[in-house]
Structure 1
């Protein structure tokens, strides 16, 4: 099970780092900027979660291969000419993967530390959304989580509760993780594709 969780973490880190680096390149940032935005996007949510829960040292400090991987990705993105052709609209899918992965894993860690379902779901949402919010804020964009035309945090919140219920009903950690993760990714992509919103402007 630990191998599955770690693999999901690495997938989430790569996905969120890509989304951050794509935006950074679109803003004509240098390699330092590309690394910084990629790092903040991939590890910002988990860092905030660990600080709030006094879970020290912060996770990525114990796993230095994660920031090293992001640094290597930043170098490739900065000097790979074709990366300049990647459109910002293409970050939706990797962002959805990162959102799902870190929301569920953040909620799982909070449960393991003895927190209630409600608190764990809030910490899961925080883990999944804060990195993207940092990315967009630093790149002078309105974060997905605050856009009226986007369903974002609510999907992560619902996915965390689906994970809790599946874990309670199915008694299978791996299956519950998979269901919660796929729910967030699929619903997020469907919301973008079909313009599903929590609120619309009056016509």
Structure 2
């Protein structure tokens, strides 16, 4: 199971880093900017989670291959000419994958450290959303988590609780993790595709 979790972490890091780098390139940032935005998007949520839980050193300091991977990706993205033509709308899939992976893994780490389901779900949401919020803020965009036309953090929260309930009823460790991750990823994609919102503007916008 630890090997599976590590593979999922790397998938989440790659997915979130790609989403950050796409936005950075669309804002005409130089290689330093591309790396910075990719790094913050991929590792910002986990860093905040570890600091709040006093879990030191933070995860990526113990696993230097993660920032090294992001650096390599940033170099490729910065000098790959076709990257400039990738539209910001393309971040939806990698962002949804990153949201799913880090929400569930963040919640599980909180459970491992003895926190309740409610606190673990909040820390899972924080892990899954904070990096993207920093990405959007630094790129002068309203973060997904605060947009009225986006359902985002609530999907993460619901996915964490689905994961906890599945853990309670299922003996297989990998199945609840898979269910929670896929739920968040696919519901996020469906929300974007079908314009699902928590609240509608009464004036029809």
Relative to the length of structure 2, the TM-score reads 0.99
Distance 2:30 2:50 in 1: 29
* Equivalent residue, structure 2, for 1:92: 92
User: Are 1:111 and 2:111 matched, yes or no?
Assistant: yes
User: Are 1:7 and 2:44 matched, yes or no?
Assistant: no
Deviation at 1:166, TM superposition (A): 0.2
Alignment of 1:174-185 (within 5 A): 174-185=174-185
* Equivalent residue, structure 2, for 1:141: 141
Deviation at 1:172, TM superposition (A): 1.9
Distance 2:73 2:157 in 1: 30
Question: Which runs of no fewer than 5 residues in structure 1 stay unpaired?
Answer: none
User: Are 1:69 and 2:69 matched, yes or no?
Assistant: yes
CA RMSD of aligned residues (A): 0.4
Question: Which runs of no fewer than 5 residues in structure 2 stay unpaired?
Answer: none
Distance 2:130 2:75 in 1: 24
Runs of 4+ in structure 1 displaced over 6 angstroms?
Answer: none
Alignment of 1:27-46 (within 5 A): 27-46=27-46
Deviation at 1:171, TM superposition (A): 2.0
Deviation at 1:173, TM superposition (A): 1.6
User: Are 1:20 and 2:15 matched, yes or no?
Assistant: no
Distance 1:179 1:58 in 2: 27
Distance 2:183 2:89 in 1: 21
Relative to the length of structure 1, the TM-score reads 1.00
Distance 2:61 2:145 in 1: 27
The size of the alignment, in residue pairs, is 203
SS class of match (1:18) = helix
